[in-house]
Amino acid sequence: MRRIFTLVIVFTLVATFAQAQISVNKILCENRTNPMGLDNTQPRFTWELASAGHNVSQTAYQVRVSTYPDFRKPIWNSGKVVSDSSVHIAYKGTALTSHTKYYWQVKVWDNSKKASAWSETGYWISSLFNTTEWQAKWIGPGFKEDSLRASPMFRKVFSSTKKVSSAIAYITAHGLYEAQINGHRVGDAYLTPGWTSYGKRLQYQAYDVTDLLATGNNVVGVTLGSGWYRGLIGFSNNQNFYGKDVALLFQLHVTYTDGTSAVISSDGSWKSSTGEITYAEIYNGETIDARKIKKGWALNGYNDAGWNSAQVMDYGFKNLLATYNEPVRKHETFKTLRVLKTKKNEHLVDFGQNLVGWVKIRLKGKKGQKVTISHAEVLDKDGDFYTENLRAAKAQDTYILSGEGVELFEPHFTFHGFQFIKVEGYNNDLNPDDFTAVALYSDMNPTGSFSSSNALVNQLQHNIQWGQKGNFLDVPTDCPQRDERLGWTGDAQVFSRTASFNMNVDNFFAKWLKDITADQTEKGAVPFVIPNVLGKGAAGSAGWGEAATVIPWNMYVAYGDKQVLKDQYGSMKAWVDYMKSQTKDDLWNTGFHFGDWLFYSVNDDTDGTSAVTDKYLIAQCFYAYSTQLLINAAQVLGKTDDYEAYGKNLKRIKDAFVREYVTSNGRMVSGTQTAYVLALNFDMLPVDLRPQAASRLVDNITKYNNHLTTGFLGTPYLCHVLSEFGYTDEAYKLLLQDTYPSWLYPVKMGATTIWERWDGIKPDKTFETPTMNSFNHYSYGAIGDWMYRVMVGLDTYNDGPGYKHIKIMPHPGGGFTNASASLQTYYGTVSSAWAIGGDQLNFDIEIPVNTTASVFIPAKDAASVMDGGKPLKNGKPYQPAKSKENYIMVELGSGKYHYTVTN
Ligand code: BGC
C-alpha cells in the first residue's frame, strides 16, 4: 500500500514537472515548414513554444545547423544566446552553399531557468544562389505552333544506373508548366511558376524528386500552357504581354549514393510535340481532345521518332529567383449539391459555394463526342445560367471524348470562378457523382477563426474567408471570374489586415510587394495593378498606390518582421515622394484617382443622396497616411533623418488639408461618411475638431437610416472610427443592417462570397450592370478586421508587433450573446471569447508562451470581476481616451484565463 502511495506521489511529481517543462512546439524557416529551394543566404528561424501553466517566457535560445542530420560538424552553433526573441532569428554561421540540404534545431531556456529538449529537426534546401549555376538552356517547341497554340510537350530520356541518394529538380517556364518524371506528376503545385513581374522577376520552383527516379532509363515530360505570360490578360483581349513564345527551363541535380552526381538539363536534345491539350487560356478555359492523347509519352519505351527537337532560346537567367511564397495547391473539394434542369432545358450542376478552381469530370461516351462545361457564379431571376458578368471571359472547358471507357477530365492551365456549371453535349440525366469542384489557391496556413451568436454574421465571416480563398491565387486579385483577375493594388491594401487574420499571408505579400517595387515607375508612382499589365500610364491613384505603404506596415504589425520594412522602405519612400512631386502648396489635387470606388449612389439623384466624396480630399488623406506610415517605418529602422523630415512634411500636409477642406466649425466640404471616416482615421483634423466630426459622421449614418454609404476606401475604417469615438453601438447597427447597402444584405440574398458591389443582385433579383458585377471581390470584406480586432478584441501593440505584446479589448454589444476568435500567431494561439448570460459576462482568453498581453475586461469596477472563480487582484480601471467605456485592465503572461463579470 505504502509503495503504491509513494509511486503515486512520484508519478504526480513527474507529471507536474512534465507539465511545467517548456517545449518547442513548431519550427519554421523563412516562415515555412522545411522549405525547398531558398535563395536566402541568411534564412531566418522561428519557433513556437509550449508550456502548461502561466507566465512562461523564453530567456535564452540555442540554434544549431549542420549538413548532417545528427548535427556532426555544425556550421552554426549559436551557443546559448540570452534573448527572448523566438521569431525571425537570422542564420549567422559560415557561408551557405547552393543546392545543399541543411538541418537545424533549437532549444530554449524559460524564465524558471529550465531548458527544453532540442526541437524536432527541421531542414531547408538551398537553391541556386547564382544565376551562373544554371546549366540548363531555355527551350521552346521545335515546330510551328497552330493558331490555337496547343500546349507543347517536352520529353527527355536519361539514364541513371547508380543508386540515387537525392534528386532535386529546378523548374520554371515562360508560361505555365506541369512536369512529370516517369509518368508521375512532379510536386503538387498548380499554375506554376505563378505570376510575377516576369521581365524582372521570374520564380523557379525546387522539387525533391528522389522517389520518382528509377534505375535505368528515366523520362522527364513537361507540358506548357500560355498562362499569364502570353495568354489573354488585362482588358481588350491583350495577348503576348511578356512575349509570344512559351519556353521551359529545367535542371535536375542527381546525387548518387557513391558521392558522384549528374545534372540533367533542358537543351536541344529534348524532343517536343503537342498532345491532348489543344487550347488553354486563363480567361477562356481549356480544351482537351482525348483522341490526341499520346499514351505513355512521359514513360520509357515511348517512340518519339515523330517529335521535333526542342529549340534552344536565348532568354538568359538574370531575372530568375527562388520561390518565396507558398505555391497554389488544391484545397477543398465540393460534391454536387444538386443537378438542375432549367426552363431553357439547360443541364446545370450547383456546388453550393462560389469558389475558384475547376471541375473534375468523369464521362463515358462516343469517340469525338464534344462536352462543354461553362461556369457561372449565379443564376438569374428566372433560374437561368448567367454569364454576362464574365464579360469577354468564355470560362469554358471543352472535352472531346476518345470513346475508350470511363474518361476523367480535369484542366491544367486555366481556372474559373463559379458555383454553377452548365454541361452541354452530354446525357440528359447528369449523374451527380460525376462532378467534383476543386478549390485552388495559394497554400497559406489558415490562422484565424471567428464565430458569434449571429448566424448571418457567421456567414459573413465565411464569405470573407472564401473571398480570400478565391482571390489569393499567387497574386491578390480583384476578382477571379471575368476577363480581369488582376492584382488591383487598392483592393489588396484595403483587405490586407483582414487577410492576415484569416491566413498567414506573410510570404504571399512579401513576394507581391517585391513586384510592386519592380513595377513602380521611375518617379515612384504605383501602378493600378501588380504585376502591371495595363501600361506605364496606369499608375498613381490615391488609395491604390497605398498598397506600397499600407501592406508592408500591416505585415510588419501582423507578423513582427522588420525585414518587410527593410525590403520595402525604398518603395514606400518612392511612393510618398511621388505624391509630394504632384503637390502644389502641399496639396495633392491633380491627376486621376479612382476615389471612393463603388460608394453608394442612386440613379436619379435629384436630391443629392449619392455619397460622393471629393477625390482630392481623399487623395490628401492618403498622402498623409502614407507619409505617417513611412515615418513609422523610419522609426522602426532607425532612419532618424527621414523620421524628422517626413514628420515636418506631415504637419504641412494636414494643415493644407484643413485649410482646403474643413470650415472653421469643422464641417467638411464633402459631408459623406467616407470624408469623415478618412479625416478621423488618419488624424487629419485638429484634436478639438475631432469629436464634432465623429458626431457628424453618426448623424450622417442616421440620415441614411443606419446604412453605410462608403465605397472601397471608406469602408475598411468606418466601424473602427465609430468604435474609437465611443459609437460602437452605431458600428453594430451597421454590421447588423441587412438591407442595401450593408454587409448582411448580400448574405441575405444567398451570397457565399463577398460581392464587388453592395447590390450586385437587387432586391427584385435583377443584376447590377454586367460590365462590373463580380460576385467574388474581397474588398468590402475588410470589415473582418473590425470583427477580430474590436468586436472580439484581438490585437497587437506596435511596440511588440506580431503579437509579442498582445492587446485584448473586446466590445460586447449589438445584442450578440457571444463572440469569439482565435489566431495562430508565430508565438502560438491567441484567443478571446466573450459570452453573455443573464447579468453575467464570461470572458475566456489564451495567451501564447513568450508573449505578454494587456487585457481589458469589460467591467464597471474590479469588484465585479472574478478571476478563475476568485476575486480579481491587480486589476486597474481603464477608460479609452475617446470612447469612455469602462474596463478593468490586467497585465498577463502566457496561459489560459477565465473571468466572470457581474454587471
Ligand atoms: C476592379 C477593381 C479595381 C477597380 C479600379 C475594377 O475593374 O475590379 O476592384 O480596384 O477596377 O477602379
Chain mean pLDDT for the chain: 96
- Is pLDDT at 600 greater than 50 in this prediction? yes
Per-residue model confidence (pLDDT) at position 47 = 98
Per-residue model confidence (pLDDT) at position 17 = 39
* Ligand 1 pocket, residue 48 CB under 6 Å: no
Identify the domain boundary among 755, 790, 825: 790
Per-residue model confidence (pLDDT) at position 774 = 97
Identify the domain boundary among 741, 757, 790: 790
Give the position, in ligand 1's atom list, of the atom nearest the Cα of 491: 10
Per-residue model confidence (pLDDT) at position 235 = 80
Instruction: Choose the catalytic residue: 30, 178, 286, 756.
Output: 756
Spatial distance between the Cα atoms of 765 and 708, rounded to a whole number of angstroms: 21
Statement to judge: residues 540 and 650 lie in one domain: yes
Closest CA to 294 of 402, 388, 133, 206: 402
pLDDT band at 237; cut points 50, 70, 90? confident
Write the single-letter amino acid at 42.
Q
Per-residue model confidence (pLDDT) at position 138 = 98
Cis status, amide bond into 531, omega within 30 of 0:
yes
Spatial distance between the Cα atoms of 685 and 696, rounded to a whole number of angstroms: 13
Q: What is the CATH number of the domain that holds 168?
A: 2.60.120.260
Spatial distance between the Cα atoms of 469 and 355, rounded to a whole number of angstroms: 8
Q: Whose CA is nearest to atom 1 of ligand 1?
A: 478
| Continuous segment of H or E residues that includes residue 380 | none
Share of the chain above pLDDT 70, in %: 98
Name the maximum alpha-carbon separation found in the chain.
93
Name, in order, each residue with C-beta under 8 angstroms of 862's C-beta and a sequence gap of 6 or more: 872, 875, 876, 877, 888
Name the percent of the chain in helix, strand, coil, to the closest 5. 25, 30, 45
Q: What is the mean pLDDT of residues 347-353?
A: 98
Q: Whose CA is nearest to atom 8 of ligand 1?
A: 478
Spatial distance between the Cα atoms of 306 and 506, rounded to a whole number of angstroms: 48
Statement to judge: residues 691 and 781 lie in one domain: yes
Ranges assigned E (strand) in 119-160 = 122-126, 138-140, 152-160
pLDDT band at 9; cut points 50, 70, 90? very low
Per-residue model confidence (pLDDT) at position 428 = 78
Share of the chain above pLDDT 90, in %: 96
* Ligand 1 pocket, residue 597 CB under 6 Å: yes
Number of Cβ atoms within 10 Å of the Cβ of 318: 9
Q: pLDDT, tens digit, for every residue of 524-574?
A: 999 999 999 999 999 999 999 999 999 999 999 999 999 999 999 999 999
Instruction: Choose the catalytic residue: 178, 286, 484, 768.
Output: 484
Rg over alpha carbons for the chain, rounded to the nearest Å, is: 29
Give the position, in ligand 1's atom list, of the atom nearest the Cα of 774: 8
Residue 377 CA to ligand 1 center (angstroms) comes to: 18
Write the single-letter amino acid at 337.
L
How many distinct structural domains can be found in the chain? 5
Q: pLDDT, tens digit, for every residue of 179-193?
A: 999 999 999 999 999
Q: pLDDT, tens digit, for every residue of 182-233?
A: 999 999 999 999 999 999 999 999 999 999 999 999 999 999 999 999 999 9
Statement to judge: residues 335 and 432 lie in one domain: yes
571 backbone dihedrals φ, ψ, rounded to 5°: -70, -40
Statement to judge: residues 317 and 339 lie in one domain: no
Q: What is the mean pLDDT of residues 249-254?
A: 98
* Ligand 1 pocket, residue 479 CB under 6 Å: yes
Q: Whose CA is nearest to atom 12 of ligand 1?
A: 594
Residue 478 CA to ligand 1 center (angstroms) comes to: 7
Indicate if 30 belongs to the active site: no
Statement to judge: residues 605 and 478 lie in one domain: yes
Would you say residue 559 lies in a domain?
A: yes
Statement to judge: residues 690 and 823 lie in one domain: no
Indicate if 660 belongs to the active site: no
Identify the domain boundary among 398, 427, 442: 442
How far, in whole angstroms, is CA 706 from its chain's centroid? 32
* Ligand 1 pocket, residue 612 CB under 6 Å: no
Cell numbers that stand for 885 in this block: 467605456
Q: Whose CA is nearest to atom 4 of ligand 1?
A: 488
Residue 527 CA to ligand 1 center (angstroms) comes to: 12
Statement to judge: residues 459 and 426 lie in one domain: no
Q: What angle (nearest 5°) sits at the alpha carbon of residue 254, between those of residues 127 and 70?
A: 70
Statement to judge: residues 418 and 465 lie in one domain: no
Spatial distance between the Cα atoms of 40 and 567, rounded to a whole number of angstroms: 13
Would you say residue 2 lies in a domain?
A: no
* Ligand 1 pocket, residue 484 CB under 6 Å: yes
Statement to judge: residues 467 and 371 lie in one domain: no
Say if residues 363 and 371 touch (Cβ distance below 8 Å).
yes
13 backbone dihedrals φ, ψ, rounded to 5°: -60, -45
* Ligand 1 pocket, residue 488 CB under 6 Å: yes
Closest CA to 209 of 194, 197, 220: 220
State the residue range of the domain holding 103.
Answer: 23-119
* Ligand 1 pocket, residue 594 CB under 6 Å: yes
Per-residue model confidence (pLDDT) at position 397 = 98
Would you say residue 28 lies in a domain?
A: yes
Statement to judge: residues 786 and 798 lie in one domain: no
Residue 163 CA to ligand 1 center (angstroms) comes to: 55
Number of Cβ atoms within 10 Å of the Cβ of 432: 12
Q: What is the mean pLDDT of residues 418-428?
A: 94
Q: What is the CATH number of the domain that holds 67?
A: 2.60.40.10
Cell numbers that stand for 501 in this block: 487574420
Name, in order, each residue with C-beta under 8 angstroms of 458's C-beta and a sequence gap of 6 or more: 450, 451, 452
Burial class (CB in 10 A: 0-12, 13-18, 19+), 249: buried
Would you say residue 126 lies in a domain?
A: no
Write the single-letter amino acid at 885.
E
Per-residue model confidence (pLDDT) at position 4 = 46
Q: pLDDT, tens digit, for every residue of 611-628?
A: 999 999 999 999 999 999
pLDDT band at 20; cut points 50, 70, 90? low
Q: pLDDT, tens digit, for every residue of 791-830?
A: 999 999 999 999 999 999 999 999 999 999 999 999 999 9
Say if residues 795 and 809 touch (Cβ distance below 8 Å).
yes
Would you say residue 5 lies in a domain?
A: no
Statement to judge: residues 809 and 842 lie in one domain: yes
| Continuous segment of H or E residues that includes residue 710 | none
Q: What is the mean pLDDT of residues 628-640?
A: 98
